[in-house]
Amino acid sequence: MRVLVLRLINSYIDYDVIETMRKLGCTVDDCSDYVWGGYETLYNDDKLMTFLEKRLSYVYDAVYTTNFFPVVAKVCAKKGIVYLSWYYDTPPVMESLGDMDYATNRMFFFCPSDYEYYTKRGLDNCYYLPLAVDVDRLESVIVRTGFKHDVSLVGRLYHSIYPALKNCFSGYYQGLLEGLAAVQRNLYDEYIVPDLLTDQIVSDMQREYTLGGERKKELTKNNISFAIAAWLNYQERITILALLSRRLHTALYTYEMEDGERDLLGETVLCKPVDYQNEMPNVFAQSKVNLCPILRNNREGVPLRVLDIMGSGGFLLASFQPGLERGFRNGEEIVMYRSVEEAVELAEYYAKHDSERERIVNKGKEKIMKEYKYELRVKMMLETVDN
């Protein structure tokens, strides 16, 4: 089977998908020489269409991208080539179902609720496919020196448009947004913000939003929902890091910091960003506790960061999420918290109890080596090409 892999967003999973396809006997053309124009061009991208029309003059059995791209779907449908897309973001940024129902599409969702959403709308070309991890690759780069911490967090702080968004509205809608954030703040079992944002509320907010003059970003339910989720995650990360830094050697590896944030982080050690392929696994393996506050709008999907930490032999302390609870035994294979206070308490406990921590690490790694292998996922994906 010959597959064209388009690295349109240069996702973290592209490399492992390509290597696994090759292990399974595919001839893979790795295409990273097209610079995607961003989500503004998601539905209308003449440059990408022209590029693909030319590239697909070669014979391919399938085209693959991480996340779904309507323009790629259109060209593949025209050429009669199977289009494989694997979402590793949630929820999908899609305005309509228009280009999702081509018979040539095979769409894979790592989040069960996304899969259910689209299948309930009549799409029969959707599949549930959890993300994966290549433990062998991770183990090959771990050197066990240079990144030792009691607690670490690798990643963004998740700056949100929420504060600026609130200022676009009168007191009533400001209060509504504050109320939604307050209700969701201590609720980890489900993300209720999208359900509370009725179409009528969003329509009324849109009307007042546009009255404020030209706005660069369209106001949608997804925009509002993500803004609140990112704001809650930002506050959670800042607070946990600051509190833990007074008790344990705590490090933050990030590439984004705004003025004044350094003071909010207490005694947290700020470290430069780490390379995903080689350095990040070493941070996970050498930190006693790896923090993973999950965005609330990821309702059920097991995030890639969770698998990367566990696959590197790191101890995972994640915020509670129903998908994690279904996939792993809390306290046996992973550890989850339901509040900032509990996160601090658990991090402090496990940083000081080596044998208990190592037992959980070993059990968790054993689980993902059996059930979250790339070979299992990519094989299932490729099997749909002939269907």
107: phi > 0 → left, psi -120 to 50 → alpha, else beta; which?
Answer: beta
Q: Please check the confidence at residue 120 and state whether its pLDDT lies above 80.
A: yes
Q: Using 50, 70 and 90 to split pLDDT, how confident is the model at 100?
A: very high
pLDDT of 253 > 90? The answer is yes
Predicted local confidence at residue 217, as pLDDT: 64
Instruction: Give residue-wise pLDDT tens across range 24-66.
Output: 999 999 999 888 888 888 888 999 999 999 999 889 999 999 9
Q: Among 29-38, 134-143, 275-284, 319-328, whose mean pLDDT is lowest?
A: 29-38
Give the whole-angstrom CA distance, residue 163 versus residue 108: 34
Q: How far is CA 103 from CA 36, 42, 80, 290, in A?
A: 25, 20, 9, 42
| Residue 306 · residue 318 · CB < 8 Å | yes
Residue 62 pairs with which residues in a beta bridge?
3, 82
Dump pLDDT digits (tens) for 317-346.
999 999 999 999 999 999 999 999 999 999
Share of the chain above pLDDT 90, in %: 87
Each residue's pLDDT tens digit, 204-250: 999 888 766 555 567 899 999 999 999 999 999 999 999 999 999 99
**CA–CA distance, 53 with 48 (Å, rounded to integer):** 8
Bridge-based pairing of strands 250-253 and 149-154 is parallel
**Average pLDDT, whole number, for the chain?**
94
Confidence at residue 98, expressed as pLDDT on a 0 to 100 scale: 84
Residue 201 has pLDDT above 80, yes or no: yes
Q: What is the pLDDT of residue 40?
A: 82
Compute the CA torsion angle 211, 232, 235, 155 (nearest 10 deg).
Answer: -110
Q: What is the arithmetic mean of pLDDT over 255-280?
A: 93
Taking residues 263-267, report their average pLDDT: 96
Average pLDDT over residues 303-322: 98
pLDDT bucket at 13, cuts 50 / 70 / 90: very high
Class of domain 2-132+374-383: alpha beta
HEC string of the chain equals CEEEEECCCCCCCHHHHHHHHHHCCCEEEEECCCCCCCHHHCCCCHHHHHHHHHHCCCCCCEEEEECCCHHHHHHHHHHCCEEEEEECCCCCCCCCCCCCCCCCEEEEECCHHHHHHHHCCCCCCEEECCCCCCHHHHHHHCCCCCCCEEEEEECCCCCCCHHHHHCCCCHHHHHHHHHHHHHHHCCCCCCCHHHHCCHHHHHHHHHHHHHCCCCCCCCCHHHHHHHHHHHHHHHHHHHHHHHHHCCCCEEEECCCCCCCHHHHCCCCEEECCCCCCCCHHHHHHHEEEEEECCCCCCCCCCCHHHHHHHHCCCCEEEECCHHHHHHCCECCCEEEECCHHHHHHHHHHHHCCHHHHHHHHHHHHHHHHHHCCHHHHHHHHHHCCCC
Cα 112 from Cα 127, distance rounded (Å): 9
**pLDDT given for residue 103 in this prediction:** 96
pLDDT confidence band for 4 (50 / 70 / 90): very high
Question: What's the average model confidence in pLDDT over 110-120?
Answer: 96
For residue 267, the model assigns a pLDDT of 97
Q: Give Cα separations from 8 to 41, 42, 130 (angstroms).
A: 12, 11, 21
Half-sphere exposure of 178 (CA within 13 A, CB side): 9
The percentage of residues in the chain with a pLDDT greater than 70, rounded to a whole number, is: 98
Domain(s) labelled CATH 3.40.50.2000 in the chain stretch across: 2-132+374-383, 137-371
Could you please state the CATH topology (level 3) that the domain comprising 137-371 is classified under.
Answer: Rossmann fold (3.40.50)
pLDDT of residue 218: 76
Please provide residue 122's backbone torsions phi and psi, each rounded to the nearest 5 degrees.
Answer: 95, 0
